[in-house]
Amino acid sequence: MELVDITPEDSVVPVYLEVLNEEEQAERDAEQSRMQEEQAAREAEVTAKEEAKQSGLAKLQALGLTEDEAKALLG
Amino acid sequence: MSVSRVSNATAATAVAGLQMVTPTSVSVGSGTGSVAGQGAVTFSGASSVSLNGCFSANYENYRVIFKISRSVSDIGWVGVYLRSNGVDKTTSYFNKLIDTDLNAANVTWVGQNTTTALLPIGYTGSNIPLAGNFDVINPFVTGYTHFNGMGTGIVVGNRYQMAFFQGINTDSYSGDGLSFISSGGGFTGSIRVYGYNNGGA
């Protein structure tokens, strides 16, 4: 890693630009890719939970429950 | 609780309470950064932000307060590393982030899958910042480091989010700093670190 001094005049401590070497950048890129995958997994989970909830709600109402009763069961 | 300011190089004073800490330096992966006289670290367009020397033998435990927005409109999440001597600690984190949608009428918790590479602290976009705080327990003394925190931000669909996150770094490690990274793109914001002063001489 290389440090480049980019301290602005109004900073009370040094500020550096960290320039990663190839290996460090590859590690950082890999971690960011994994974070993006985790985000996609989270979004898929949110969608799946909402769809399951709506499906369950509809099925309970078809069985004769009111919407409030169905929502109370589903939580 | 009283709050006062002290350089990280100064020994803890006799006043118990939170004391703002100034890092010895700041590093950014891109963009710009600055540290104000009272210790606030600000940054813009940074792919990562590292606060070096913010943990020391002066305090056992710390409170970190953050407010971060991404430079791009798509939603991404932010994670934290410990670091020592300018090098990030990228292993042995065991953690969970759970969040729920503030827009929804009901509470449905969603879990962030565990990663051992860093501590996730939440999601943000360009319109609503991720803001919150976490405590760092025992970062400087060699041993386990614990994190306990919460925040509010925004998730996909421009839905407001609240999140809790907790984790442990299980290596016998002494950290003197923190790094914040995002899942892509730069971010802008501010971070403040306070030491819990136990009082006494």
Alpha-carbon dihedral sign for residues B179, B195, B164, B168 = positive
CB-CB: which of A27, A28, A34 is closest to B115?
Answer: A34
CB-CB: which of A13, A15, A34 is closest to B28?
Answer: A15
Mapped onto helix, strand or coil, the DSSP state of residue B73 is coil
What would the 3-class secondary structure string for B145-194 be?
EEEEEEEEEEECCCEEEEEEEEEEEEEEECCCEEEEEECCCCEEEEEEEE
Closest CA to A57 of B158, B101, B105, B103: B105
A interface test, pick of B34, B112, B115 with most A CB neighbours within 10 Å: B34
Residue count (chain A): 75
CB-CB: which of B50, B156, B182 is closest to A43?
Answer: B156
Query: In the A/B pair of chains, how many CB contacts fall below 8 A?
Result: 107
Would the pLDDT of B10 be above 60?
no
Which chain B residues touch A42 with a CB distance below 8 Å? 110-113
- Over residues B18-69, the pLDDT tens digits come to 999 999 999 999 999 999 988 899 999 998 999 999 999 999 999 999 999 9
Which chain A residues touch B112 with a CB distance below 8 Å? 38, 42
pTM reported for the whole predicted model = 0.85
CB-CB: which of A16, A27, A32 is closest to B183?
Answer: A32
Pair B38, B20: CB distance under 8 Å: yes
- Whether residue B123 and residue A45 make contact (CB cut-off 8 A), yes or no, is no
Mapped onto helix, strand or coil, the DSSP state of residue B143 is strand
- Over residues A13-71, the pLDDT tens digits come to 999 999 988 988 888 888 888 888 877 887 788 788 878 888 988 999 999 999 888 87
- Interface confidence (ipTM) of the complex: 0.83
Say yes or no: A47 contacts chain B, CB-CB below 8 A. no
